[in-house]
Amino acid sequence: MAKIAPDPSLLIDGGESVRRPLPDTLHVNGGDGTYSYTRNSYYQRLAANVVKEKINGAITMKLDVEKLSSTSNTICIADLGCAVGPNTFIAMQDLLDFIKHKFKLQCPNFKTLEFLVFFNDQPSNDFNTLFKSLPPERPYFAAGVPGSFHHRLFPESCIHFVHCSYALHWLSRVPEELLDKNSLAWNKGRIHYTNASNEVVNAYASQFAKDMENFLNARAKELVIGGMMIMIMPGIPNGMPYSQLAASLMYDFMSYSFMDMANEGLISEDQVDSFNLPIYTPSPEEMAALVEKNGHFSVESLELTNPASSVDGPVDINAWVTHVRAAMEGMFTKHFSSDTIDEMFDRLTKKLSKFSDQVESGYKERTQLLVVLIRK
Amino acid sequence: MAKIAPDPSLLIDGGESVRRPLPDTLHVNGGDGTYSYTRNSYYQRLAANVVKEKINGAITMKLDVEKLSSTSNTICIADLGCAVGPNTFIAMQDLLDFIKHKFKLQCPNFKTLEFLVFFNDQPSNDFNTLFKSLPPERPYFAAGVPGSFHHRLFPESCIHFVHCSYALHWLSRVPEELLDKNSLAWNKGRIHYTNASNEVVNAYASQFAKDMENFLNARAKELVIGGMMIMIMPGIPNGMPYSQLAASLMYDFMSYSFMDMANEGLISEDQVDSFNLPIYTPSPEEMAALVEKNGHFSVESLELTNPASSVDGPVDINAWVTHVRAAMEGMFTKHFSSDTIDEMFDRLTKKLSKFSDQVESGYKERTQLLVVLIRK
């Protein structure tokens, strides 16, 4: 299997963690065409596979299913930022298997267990494709929940398990100061905080902290006491400069491609200055501090893993860019014409092909964050 | 307000009660174009309005909300056959208001009530449109549930209230014997049981009985003891010949239009013989017998009402046919070309315009069935 995504920030899944200020721009490509997420999300799944057994272990060791089933025979699971499949279905099937296994261990006489899985994403997500792709013989009842996970999605204490894979790195909005020419955080000539000033980095970090606080508060209301939450997302080792992430190479080359096009008169510089990718990669220490500050959850596990450890062979740049496009294109379409986007992705592919050694170098880094929390 | 639909069978809402044998054919028109259900469902709402106060009365008198809220502060409501809106949102808001009112009466000290509304329809329903149309300030959490309501949709005992408006008259499938040339129930030259042989009528009635048994068994599992189910659908007074329903005029004129087109060589007779509308209109007595045979529900109310009693003025045939088309077109599109469907609806409009007196005569009939059940 060709290695395609050496850095988890590039395995951009979900794409739906954005609240109302940007409701229609941040969703993965729907349908099942060439650039659809349905056809181009296989590598995200490989990255998630790396932590599969760790999740099984957390459920086996830490999930008190006897407590969860004390009032009802139904276990309610929410997948937040589910996109259009098929990864969400595979992840839910794995979770069900792990939870059933734990029931057999802890409650061998338990008989009539039923599961209700809530598939959540932004209202602009292609739920029609999601629903038509549901496994026909699924061992659970299925519901779709449209809305931002930075707000409440469910009634109080009605969810037993939350799963959120490659979605929390999407900020709910672009920090306003990035667009203010009079601010030190004005992000001129770039579309991301990589290689930008400290003020720009801080604006991103501050927005991520606010988003996580909203996210954790909402989930604290919805999860029953003892309920588990699994979060998988891009992460950066504490102290590593952002510019050493392979993802940064991608964002920088996107910036360079746009700026080249501006210099050639194909687009205006203003168009580049006024666009910023709302994507943030926290360190484990940063995430731990946010969870502790929130106070509603105990941390059962919080670690970096290598998302590409299950794949080998050379990086296939074309396939990698197609995957990234399936997940990210929706963000560009409100700001740039489709010709401009085609051109940018063409240039991006060429630039990345020239620097494949640098892409490759990200391969050995542990840049996927796995967080396991219990509602206390 | 011009009177548009003198018979409830013509106020065809939902259109989603069909199980897997016909998964892609029976859904209302999606989107928001000229023939969309979103734009052409206002009159269905007027018909439902006729029973609004009766539903309020049933909730006030019969729904034991103290019992329902004994284990949780969340009330779960399911709207089965919700289509794409906006009628489902109006109906749910009314229900919430009625239930909250009952809480104030019965449990004046109850404080933290929350609602979760499940919007159900076939997987082929346009859930994207439904989700984008959800009222932004809705006082409930919302989820979409794709699937046939002739099967289980929810875990055991997790629903407190079921609402099903203008959906149960859709059969889950066309009875097979209608298509068998060697059967006495072969429905030659017609697309419905109106004015057909007893064998054809019995085949329809038998399919409806099977569908209702499946529906009631599934709901019996899902509804908590004491939970309420409201069903609104076309009905026929006991003993009235089907051919006296205004709906019958519609179906017969559809048959005649198709047969005229077959005689003119525009389509083949076989095409007409092999197509049947899976729509059935039960009498109150028939419905009461089916509920009693099932045994899981007590009948709190079962009565016929006049769906057109809130509208007056002459029938607007054009608008009426457009409404019917928005709800029913999906059934024709798998069997006939779009040109054929256009032509049939043109001919139908002309024929109905000539017989507007007969259409008008259905106006005074009580042909909308309201059923209120409690899970016992």
Report the pLDDT value the prediction gives residue A238, as an integer from 0 to 100.
Answer: 92
* B373: helix, strand or coil: strand
Whether the predicted pLDDT of B364 surpasses 80 = no
Average pLDDT over residues A161-180: 94
Query: Which positions in chain B touch A126 (Cβ < 8 Å)?
Result: 128
Residue A141: exposure state from Cβ atoms within 10 A (0-12, 13-18, ≥19)? buried
Residue B4: exposure state from Cβ atoms within 10 A (0-12, 13-18, ≥19)? buried
Q: Tokens representing A106?
A: 């802890």
Is B127 touching A (CB cutoff 8 A)? yes
**Inside any domain, residue A31:** yes
Query: Which positions in chain A touch B145 (Cβ < 8 Å)?
Result: 141-144
Picking from A74, A127, A158, the nearest residue to B127 by CB comes out as A127
User: Cβ–Cβ of B128/A127 closer than 8 Å?
Assistant: yes
Is A176 touching B (CB cutoff 8 A)? no
Report the C-alpha gap between B127 and A126 in whole angstroms: 9
Report the C-alpha gap between A118 and B157 in whole angstroms: 17
Domain at A158, CATH number: 3.40.50.150
The CA-based diameter of chain B, rounded to the nearest angstrom, is 71
Chain B, nearest residue to A115 by Cα? B155
* Range of weakest confidence among A204-213, B236-245, B342-351: B236-245
Report the C-alpha gap between A250 and A233 in whole angstroms: 17
User: Cβ–Cβ of B131/A118 closer than 8 Å?
Assistant: no
- Of B35 and B61, the one with more pLDDT: B61
**Inside any domain, residue A2:** no
Residue A19, H or E segment: none
Is A71 touching B (CB cutoff 8 A)? yes
Residue window 260-319, chain A: list those with CB within 8 Å of chain B: none
Count of CB atoms situated within 10 Å of the CB of A355: 13
- Name the one residue in this structure whose structure tokens are 């409501």: B77
User: Cβ–Cβ of B158/A73 closer than 8 Å?
Assistant: no
User: Cβ–Cβ of B154/A115 closer than 8 Å?
Assistant: no
Average pLDDT over residues A332-340: 91
Question: How distant is the Cα of A116 from the closest Cα of chain B, in angstroms?
Answer: 7
Average pLDDT over residues B196-224: 97
Picking from B114, B152, B155, the nearest residue to A155 by CB comes out as B114
Query: How does DSSP classify residue A165?
Result: E
Beta strand A297-305 with B297-305 is unpaired
Percentage with pLDDT > 90 across chain B: 65
Picking from B74, B128, B132, the nearest residue to A158 by CB comes out as B74
**Inside any domain, residue A1:** no
* B204: helix, strand or coil: helix
Whether omega before A314 lies within 30 degrees of 0, making that bond cis, reads no
Is B72 touching A (CB cutoff 8 A)? yes
Whether the predicted pLDDT of A139 surpasses 50 = yes
Question: How distant is the Cα of A156 from the closest Cα of chain B, in angstroms?
Answer: 8
Q: Tokens representing B365?
A: 């009939």
Report the C-alpha gap between B342 and B348 in whole angstroms: 10
Residue B112: exposure state from Cβ atoms within 10 A (0-12, 13-18, ≥19)? exposed
User: Cβ–Cβ of A74/B158 closer than 8 Å?
Assistant: yes
Highest mean pLDDT among A169-178, A289-298, B45-54: A289-298
Q: How many Cα atoms within 13 Å fall on the side-chain side of residue A318?
A: 1
Is A123 touching B (CB cutoff 8 A)? yes
* pLDDT confidence bin for B315, thresholds 50/70/90: confident
User: Cβ–Cβ of A155/B74 closer than 8 Å?
Assistant: yes
Percentage with pLDDT > 70 across chain A: 85
Report the C-alpha gap between A55 and A101 in whole angstroms: 13
Q: Tokens representing B335?
A: 């069997």
Cα dihedral sign for A213, A46, A6, A353? Answer: negative
Question: How distant is the Cα of B123 from the closest Cα of chain A, in angstroms?
Answer: 6
Picking from A126, A134, A143, the nearest residue to B128 by CB comes out as A126
Question: Strand pairing partners for B161?
Answer: B77, B228
Is B158 touching A (CB cutoff 8 A)? yes
Picking from B71, B131, B157, the nearest residue to A127 by CB comes out as B131
**Inside any domain, residue B2:** no
Report the pLDDT value the prediction gives residue A59, as an integer from 0 to 100.
Answer: 97
Average pLDDT over residues A273-295: 96
pLDDT in tens, B274-309: 999 999 999 999 999 999 999 999 999 999 998 776
- Name the one residue in this structure whose structure tokens are 């409806």: B208
**Inside any domain, residue B1:** no
Average pLDDT over residues B148-162: 97
Count of CB atoms situated within 10 Å of the CB of A51: 22
Report chain B's terminal Cα–Cα distance, integer Å: 42
pLDDT in tens, A91-103: 999 999 999 999 9
Question: How distant is the Cα of A309 from the closest Cα of chain B, in angstroms?
Answer: 37
Length of chain B: 376
- Of B296 and B83, the one with more pLDDT: B296
User: Cβ–Cβ of A123/B131 closer than 8 Å?
Assistant: yes
Average pLDDT over residues B90-94: 95
**Inside any domain, residue A50:** yes
Whether the predicted pLDDT of B18 surpasses 60 = no
- Of A11 and B238, the one with more pLDDT: B238
Is B155 touching A (CB cutoff 8 A)? yes
With beta carbons less than 8 A apart as the criterion, state whether B170 and B17 touch: yes
Question: Strand pairing partners for B15?
Answer: none
Is A132 touching B (CB cutoff 8 A)? yes
User: Cβ–Cβ of A116/B74 closer than 8 Å?
Assistant: no
Nearest to B243 by CA among B185, B188, B192, B195: B195
Chain B, nearest residue to A146 by Cα? B131
* pLDDT confidence bin for B321, thresholds 50/70/90: confident
Report the C-alpha gap between B302 and B369 in whole angstroms: 7
Report the pLDDT value the prediction gives residue A300, as an integer from 0 to 100.
Answer: 97
Is A134 touching B (CB cutoff 8 A)? yes
Q: Tokens representing B245?
A: 């329903």
Whether the predicted pLDDT of A41 surpasses 80 = no
With beta carbons less than 8 A apart as the criterion, state whether A322 and A35 touch: yes
Residue B233, H or E segment: strand B223-234
Report the C-alpha gap between B4 and B356 in whole angstroms: 11
Average pLDDT over residues B345-354: 91
Chain B, nearest residue to A141 by Cα? B154
Report the pLDDT value the prediction gives residue A15, as an integer from 0 to 100.
Answer: 32
Average pLDDT over residues B176-192: 92
Chain A, nearest residue to B125 by Cα? A128
Query: Which positions in chain A touch B132 (Cβ < 8 Å)?
Result: 123-124
Whether the predicted pLDDT of A5 surpasses 60 = no
pLDDT in tens, A314-323: 777 888 788 8
Is B138 touching A (CB cutoff 8 A)? no
Whether omega before A284 lies within 30 degrees of 0, making that bond cis, reads no
pLDDT in tens, B244-279: 887 788 899 999 999 999 999 999 999 999 999 999
User: Cβ–Cβ of B74/A153 closer than 8 Å?
Assistant: no
The boundaries of the domain holding residue B285 are 8-375
Query: Which positions in chain B touch A131 (Cβ < 8 Å)?
Result: 123, 127, 144, 146
Mean pLDDT of the residues in chain B: 86
Nearest to B64 by CA among B158, B161, B146: B161
Three-class SS of A271-319: HHHCCCCCECCCCHHHHHHHHHHHCCEEEEEEEEECCCCCCCCCECHHH
Query: Which positions in chain A touch B155 (Cβ < 8 Å)?
Result: 73-74, 114-116, 141
- Of A48 and A113, the one with more pLDDT: A113
Query: Which positions in chain A touch B141 (Cβ < 8 Å)?
Result: 145, 152-155
Q: Tokens representing A29?
A: 């490509």
User: Cβ–Cβ of B112/A153 closer than 8 Å?
Assistant: no
Is A116 touching B (CB cutoff 8 A)? yes
User: Cβ–Cβ of B143/A141 closer than 8 Å?
Assistant: no
Nearest to B368 by CA among B8, B50, B3: B8
Q: Tokens representing A273?
A: 């200055």
Chain A, nearest residue to B142 by Cα? A145
List Cα–Cα distances, A116 to A142, A161, B74, in angstroms. 6, 11, 16
Q: State the total domains in chain B.
A: 1
Is A114 touching B (CB cutoff 8 A)? yes
Query: Which positions in chain A touch B157 (Cβ < 8 Å)?
Result: 72
Residue B118, H or E segment: strand B114-121
Residue B94: exposure state from Cβ atoms within 10 A (0-12, 13-18, ≥19)? middle
Report the C-alpha gap between A161 and A331 in whole angstroms: 29
Beta strand A223-234 with B159-165 is unpaired
> B interface mutation test: which of A158, A219, A223 has the most B CBs within 10 A?
A158
Question: How distant is the Cα of A325 from the closest Cα of chain B, in angstroms?
Answer: 22
Query: Which positions in chain B touch A111 (Cβ < 8 Å)?
Result: none
* B223: helix, strand or coil: strand
Average pLDDT over residues B98-102: 96
Q: Tokens representing A48?
A: 């998630």
Average pLDDT over residues A343-368: 84
* B72: helix, strand or coil: coil
**Inside any domain, residue A3:** no
Question: Strand pairing partners for A116?
Answer: A76, A141
